[in-house]
Amino acid sequence: MFASDNTAPAHPAILAALTQANEGIAPSYGADTWTARAEALLREAFETDCAVLLVPTGTAANALALAALTPPWGAVITHRIAHIVVDEGGAPEFYTGGAKLLLVDGPSAKITPAALDAEAARYSRAVVHGAQPFAVSISQVTESGAVYAPAEIAALAGVCRARGLKLHMDGARFANALEAARCTPAEMSWKAGVDVLSFGATKNGALAAEAIVCFGGAGAEVMPHLRKRAGHLFSKHRYLAAQIAGYLEGGLWRDLARHANAKAAQLAGVLRDAGAETIHPVDANMIFARLAPAQAGALRAAGAAFHPSAVDGAGAYRFVCSWATTDAEIARAAQALSAA
Ligand SMILES: *Cc1c(COP(=O)(O)O)cnc(C)c1O
């Protein structure tokens, strides 16, 4: 409990969708009705005629998205602790054919327009010696648990437009961010200037399914070929599609994210009541808190699992709540802390 949202099981409704999809024969490689349904639901949710490609992991979604937005001799500006930098084993560099990641700093793993502009200004198409920025990648929710407001995304997109860069959003926790920002999917993506979105589902109840969503045609022409070449075009595609359809149907994705965020707010309260300092804004379903060794030990003894934060100094830990986090788990944590 609390180690990550991908330690949670898959949601029963998504397993039920898979069972339903597991009936008879169906056309392969995405020509099936489940894929059409998943795409229609995404277009409805985003209120636009976006191109959609399903893949099984977030790393594949991010790396393929970036490969569509930058040539091998290009560069992607991103935050120093972004998932694409520290948690994807070089996949973005591999799939882009060697594009460089240019790293900027910013509070709570957010990129600021000023930092983005300053980094982009260091390179020019007229100077052959530097890597050429083609894209920017931001994480929503960020790796430190913060959520970009639509206006913050729009400000970054403004810099992107002025500098001729495409904007990619790593939305591994897009639903959690949406519930936090209380806006529409469109307002958090294409209306704010996002060109390509990695739309996560795995952490929030799916088994293994993510969607690459291309707005305004960005990357849409090359993406099918990049995905096939990368070995990520599933032949039994209905099983990816059924997960995404089940995830979106009836607003399940929003309900699950709302629950995860609410449990995180509750757990943050418990930690603060015990005197622990929360280090970053608890905007969505992740908490970063500094604990005394006795507190960390008591939580672990009570069955809690959580990782040290890699960037917030000694005694800082990350706690993540999911769609499956229960009140009993929060109560157990509270009990352990009050006894410590
Ligand atoms: C979990 C996560 C991903 C996806 O990771 P995979 O293990 O490849 O599915 C991408 N970005 C962020 C910010 C994440 O937290």
Both tokens assigned to 76: 């992607």
- The sign of the CA dihedral 251, 214, 153, 74 is positive
Q: Give 172 Cα–ligand 1 centroid separation in angstroms.
A: 6
Which pLDDT tens digit goes with each residue over 221-274? 999 999 999 999 999 999 999 999 999 999 999 999 999 999 999 999 999 999
Atom of ligand 1 nearest to the CA of 170: 11
In this predicted model, what pLDDT tens digit does every residue of 163-176 receive, in sequence order?
999 999 999 999 99
Contact yes or no for 173/5 (Cβ under 8 A): yes
Confidence check: pLDDT of 294 > 90: yes
Q: Quote the tokens at residue 339.
A: 């006894």
- What's the rounded Cα separation, in Å, for the pair 142 and 13? 28
Partners of 288 in beta bridges: 318
Mutation to probe ligand 1, out of 54, 59, 141, 210 (largest number of atoms < 8 A from CB): 59
Q: Which atom of ligand 1 is nearest to the CA of 139?
A: 13
pLDDT tens-digit map of 141-169: 999 999 999 999 999 999 999 999 999 99
Confidence of residue 340 (pLDDT cuts 50, 70, 90): confident
Structure token pair of residue 309: 């934060």
**Ligand 1: which residue has its CA nearest to atom 4?**
58
Report yes or no on whether pTM surpasses 0.85: yes
At 240 the pLDDT is: 98
CA of 58 to the centre of ligand 1 (A): 5
What is the Cα 262 distance to its own chain's centre? Answer: 18
Q: How far is it, in rounded angstroms, from Cα 317 to Cα 278?
A: 10
In this structure, what is the dihedral angle of CA atoms 24, 28, 31, 35, given to the nearest 10 degrees? 70
The CA 130 to ligand 1 mean position distance, Å, reads 29
| Ligand 1 lining (C-beta closer than 6 Å) | 57-59, 62, 83, 139, 143, 170, 172, 202-203
Which residues, 6+ apart, have CB-to-CB distance to 97 below 8 Å? 67, 71, 72
- Average pLDDT taken over every residue of the chain: 97
Q: Which residue has the tokens 């083609």?
A: 134
pLDDT tier for residue 47 given thresholds of 50, 70 and 90: very high
Domains parsed from the chain with CATH numbers: 12-251 (3.40.640.10), 252-339 (3.90.1150.10)
Q: What is the pLDDT of residue 301?
A: 96
* CB-count exposure of residue 177 (10 Å: 0-12, 13-18, 19+): buried
Residues 109-124 have pLDDT tens digits of 999 999 999 999 999 9
**Tally of CB atoms within 10 A around 208:** 15
